[in-house]
């Protein structure tokens, strides 16, 4: 199985449940079929089903976060 459509980001300024909901909803708004998995304690955002990492980063930046692609 290929992970070419899986993107992983470190988002240090994601600190609470509201942040998780905001990021998830923003990604799902543009990519409804995306599988968004967030580990708040590790500040990790994992998105499956979207190949465009730059677009995902831009979505999070528009919500006020500073994602770093891993």
Domain ranges for the chain: 6-69
Name the pTM for this structure: 0.92
Q: Residue 22, Cα to own-chain centre: how many angstroms?
A: 10
pLDDT at residue 47 tops 80: yes
What number of other Cβ atoms are within 10 A of residue 1's Cβ? Answer: 4
Q: What is the pLDDT of residues 3-30, one digit of tens each?
A: 568 999 999 999 999 999 999 999 999 9
With cut-offs at 50, 70 and 90, classify the pLDDT of residue 2: very low
Q: What percent of the chain has pLDDT over 90?
A: 90
Sheet with 68-69, edge to edge strand ranges: 35-39, 44-48, 6-10, 68-69
Residue 35's nearest CA partner among 57, 6, 11 is 6
CATH 3.90.650.10 for the 6-69 domain, yes or no: no
């Amino acid at each position: 199985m290929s992970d070419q459509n899986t993107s992983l980001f470190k988002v240090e300024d994601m600190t609470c449940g509201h942040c998780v909901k905001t990021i998830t909803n923003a990604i799902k708004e543009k990519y409804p079929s995306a599988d968004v998995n967030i580990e708040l304690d590790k500040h990790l955002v994992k998105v499956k089903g979207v190949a465009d990492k730059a677009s995902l980063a831009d979505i999070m930046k528009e919500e006020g976060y500073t994602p770093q692609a891993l």
